[in-house]
Amino acid sequence: MSGPRIFLRVFLALVLLGAVRGEALEVRQVLWGFDGRVVPGRFNHVSMLVANPGNGTFDGPMTFAATLGFGGTRGAAYVQPVFVGPQGTRWVQFDVFIGSGSEEFSLIWGPGAKERATFDRQLPTGPPACVWLVDAGDTFARPGAFKAFPDQLFPTTVAATDALDAVILDYVPRWEPARRDAFLDWLRRGGTVHLVHGAGGALPVFTDALAVLNGDGETTRVGAGQVVRHRMARAELRPETLTARGFPPREVQKPQDAVIHNFEDTLYQRLSSLTRPKVKWWLLNVLTFLYIAVIGPVAWRTARRMDYRWAIGGFLGVVAAFGLAFGIVGRRGYGESQTVHSLSIARSLGGGRWDVTQWLSAFATSSGQYTLTHTAEANLYATASSDESARGQILNGKGGRFLADIPLYSSRSFTHRGVMQGDDLGVVVEKWGDGPVDTDPAAGPRPTRKLRFKPGPQFPKDALSVAAVKGDRIYTLKQLAGGWETTDSGEILSAAFGREKLQQLSYGFNNSGSDDTTTPAGRLPQAIPLLQARALGSHAISTQFSERPLAANQLRLLVAAPAPAGFHMQGQGFGHENGVVLYVQDIFQP
C-alpha cells in the first residue's frame, strides 16, 4: 500500500475517532444545587448525568466554565477528569461559585461545537434548600411534598453545602466515609435534620458515626445544628407542618437600598489595592528627561566625532540600557516580594476544625502559571466569572488546587473554601444573664446582657475584636481580669450593619488613624465589620437570604484575629501572607 494511502486512512481514522469521542456524549439531566435552584453568592453543588450511548469510551477532562459568545470562556474554568464507558452513564459533579445567577455556563469535553452543552443564562435561584434525602436504588421512596435529593449525590465536603438548610430522613443512608463525614460536619456547622417514621413505622436507628442522630427527646443538639424528631409517617410531614413547629422555609431578600451589590468583587478590589506596584514617578520623570537628552543632542554631538559604526552601536546600547532601567523602575512591586493578603470567615466544626471561606489576593513579581493550594481536607476555588483576564484552571475536591496565570508584577484575586485546622477558642461561659436596665434618653430602657466567658489556652492572644450576638443585639466584649465580658448594652443588629455603617467601607479601607493603617497589614482589620455583616446576613448586602433567629439560650461569638499559619496559602515563591480571620462559634447556655 502506498504511503499517501496509508496517511489518508490514518487521517480519516483519527477524524472519525474524534467525532465519535465528542458527539457520543449526552447530558441527560442537570440538578442545580439541592432542590434545582442555586443560591447566589455561594458555592453550589451542580450534578450532571452524562451518558455515552456509543460503543467507544470517553476518558479525558471535562470543563465547566462561564462562557461568552462564539464559544469563548471567561474566568478560570473548573476541570476534572472523567471516564464514561460504552453504553454507560455517570454523574459528574462540580462545586461552582455562582455570582448573581445570570451567568451562562457550559460543560465542555472537546474543541468541537457539538462537544459542549450550554445552559440557560438565567439560572433558577433561591435560598438554602430543605430537601428529602432518598435512596436512588429504592423504587418505593417518595419525598412527599418536598423536593427529593439522591443521597448518592451528597457532597464529599461540607464546603459544598452552603445551599443546604435542612434535610428530612426516614432511613439510614449507606454513605462512604467522605459523604458521611461531610454530612456530619454540615450538621455541626448549623444544619437541621428532620427525622420521620420510615417504612417500618418507626424512626430510623443509626449506627457508628451517625449514631449522634439517635435520641429520645424531640430535639437534640449536635454542635450548632439540631436533630428534630417528628413522630409521624412520611406522608404527614408537609412544609406547613415544619412552619408550625418553628422551621419556616428560608427566603431570599433583595433590599432596595443595599450598599454592597457584589460582596466578592468588593473584597477583591480592596485586597488588590493593597498590592499595587509602587511606581516612583519622580524617578521615571528624571529618566525620561535624561533619555531624551542622551538620544537627542548628546547622541548628535557624539556621532559627529566618531566612526558611524561606533555611533550606531552606542546608540543601541543606550536605548537598551534605558529600556532596562524603565522596566525596573516602572515595575517595582509591594516590598519587591510575592505577597498574599486574605480575609476569612471561619465557622466552628469543633475541636479546632473550621469551615473557612477566604477571599485572597496573590501578588507575583514574576509571570507564570502558579499552583496555589491550601492545607485542607478538600479545597474549593473560584474566581469572578466576570473577570475575563483571570485565566487558569480550578481542580476542586480532595487535593484541590488553583492553576493561576499571573502576569508580571500583578495580582490574582480568588475565593477559597475548605475545612482547616485553626485556633480552638475553647471558651467556658462564666456568666450568662440579664443585668440591670440601662436607660438611654434616645432609645429608652434597655436591659444589659451580663456575658462573661473564660478563653481556652488556644484562644488568640492577639485578638483584634471580640463581639457576641444575643437576640437582636450585638455586644462588644472587653478583656477584664483574665476573661472577656460585655461592657455596654449592645447595639441593634439592623443599625450596627445597616446602610449608614457599611457605606464607607464598601468603597475602600480607610487610611486615616494610627500609623499602622498606612501599611497593607494594618489596613486589613478595617474590613472586620464587612466580615461580620456577611457572617450575620446583613440586608445591606444585596441578595441575602433570611437567617434563622438565634434560640433564647444561644449566642453567636465573633472573634477577629490574625489568620493562623494553618489558614495560609501555599504556592511557589509565596512565603508571606497577611490575613485576618473572623471566627464564628455558636455557644449555648449551660
H helix or E strand, kind and range, residue 392: strand 392-395
Query: For residue 389, what pLDDT band results from cuts at 50, 70 and 90?
Result: low
What average pLDDT score do residues 143-170 get? Answer: 93
On the 0-12 / 13-18 / 19+ scale of CB atoms within 10 A, 540 is buried
pLDDT at 222 over 60: yes
Query: For residue 379, what pLDDT band results from cuts at 50, 70 and 90?
Result: very high
Query: For residue 75, what pLDDT band results from cuts at 50, 70 and 90?
Result: confident
Q: Which residue has the higher pLDDT, 338 or 322?
A: 338
pLDDT of residue 168: 95
DSSP for 231-283, written as a single string:
EEEGGG--HHHHHHTT-PPP-EE--TT-SBS-HHHHHHHHHHHTT-----HHH
pLDDT at 497 over 80: yes
Residue type, 539: H
pLDDT at 324 over 70: yes
pLDDT of residue 512: 41
Class of domain 23-118: mainly beta
pLDDT of residue 464: 95
Query: For residue 331, what pLDDT band results from cuts at 50, 70 and 90?
Result: low
Q: E-strand spans in 71-197?
A: 73-84, 88-98, 105-108, 116-118, 129-134, 148-150, 164-169, 192-197
What average pLDDT score do residues 416-433 get? Answer: 90
What average pLDDT score do residues 61-76 get? Answer: 80
Q: How far apart are CA 188 and CA 184, in angstroms?
A: 6
Q: What percent of the chain shows pLDDT beyond 70?
A: 80
Centre a 10 Å sphere on the Cβ of residue 139 and count the other Cβ atoms it contains: 6
* Side-chain-facing half-sphere of 321: CA atoms under 13 Å: 11
- Looking at residue 125, what DSSP letter applies? B
Q: Which of 14-28, 318-332, 449-463, 565-579 has the lowest mean pLDDT?
A: 14-28
Residue bearing cell 475517532: 17
* Residues 195-209 pLDDT 10s: 999 888 899 999 999
Q: How far apart are CA 356 and CA 418, in angstroms?
A: 5
On the 0-12 / 13-18 / 19+ scale of CB atoms within 10 A, 181 is middle
DSSP for 6-18, written as a single string:
HHHHHHHHHHHHH
pLDDT of residue 283: 67
pLDDT of residue 435: 52
Q: Assess contact for 58 and 89: CB atoms under 8 A.
A: no
| Domain coordinates in residue numbering, the chain | 23-118, 129-249, 263-275+424-561+582-588, 281-331, 339-421
| Cα 100 off chain centre by | 14
